Amino acid sequence: MAMNSYRSFAVLLCAAALSSCEKNAVQELVGTEPAARIKFFNFGVGAPGVNFYAGDVKMTAITSATETESTTGTAYGGVGSGGLYSSLAAGQYTLSGRIAATVDKDLPISTTTTTLDDGKFYSFYQSGIYNATTKNVDSFIVEDPLIPNIDYTVAYVRFVHAISNANPMTLYATDTVTKVVTAIGEAVAYKGAGTFTAVPNGVYNLTTRYVGATTNAISRTGVSFVAGRVYTIGARGDITVTSTTATNRPFLDNTLNR
């Protein structure tokens, strides 16, 4: 997809990054200003709410009803800036999640150093299980590649694996009407991202399976994929939890990329 087909938000750091929006809102980009784009996920089980930083620049925060910064930050299972991409000049950065609460305010609990390139899109994940003693949690970054020659009659879906105690898994999407099962790429290991796979417009039941397994590791029903859109299904949680309602249960998160 050509870059000039998107419309850009130019005031990310002073407005969009400090607002709370609907999670699956679509970021539209315009203009030719060279920049990298990145979004931030807190998928670290048990991790406190954080604000995300690139170097010493705060990229996400939440305003409260009193128009001051909330001490909640982006909570577990959430995505910063309402799921919008943040804009950064290309270059090398140390990305981090820092505690938003008053206690241990701004303490980094996750860090990843990486180089961001002009015109590319990325996602940064806090992942795995938070260590409350060391106050540390895993993190990683993946590229969200643009899809050349996008077909607007289908949706595109990929799988990101953010569960530290789960083996490599393959994501499967079963059309609830036709019952056709589509493997969404190949098996993906922890901290990995699969390729985008085209699926027809429709409602799907999602499952993941370990390599060679005949039973499901994680399931989610009734997920809609709309033609012309691009989605990431992210696995988060603790794979050992069997409760169907616990916050830290294994879960398949659906986020709209474009």
DSSP state string for 186-243: EEE-TT-B---EEEESEEEEEEEEETT-SS-SEEEEEEEE-TT-EEEEEEES-TT---
* Residue finishing a domain among 112, 143, 174: 143
Looking at residue 26, what is its pLDDT? 43
**Domain limit, last residue, from 95, 111, 143:** 143
Tell me the pTM: 0.84
122 shares a domain with 169 = no
> Are residues 29 and 100 both part of a single domain?
yes
pLDDT of residue 34: 59
Compute the average pLDDT of residues 95-111.
97
Q: Which domain holds residue 204?
A: 154-256
Structural domain includes residue 149? no
d(CA 205, CA 180): 11
Same domain, 203 and 235: yes
Q: Beta partners for 176?
A: none
Residues 87 and 136 in one domain: yes
Q: What does the pLDDT look like over 75-101, one tens digit per residue? A: 999 999 989 999 999 999 999 999 999
Residues 133, 75 within the same domain? yes
Count of domains forming the chain: 2
pLDDT score at 61 = 82
Of 117, 143, 169, the position where a domain reaches its end is 143
Task: Examine the domain organization and report whether 25 and 78 are in the same domain.
Answer: yes
Residue 148 forms part of a structural domain? no
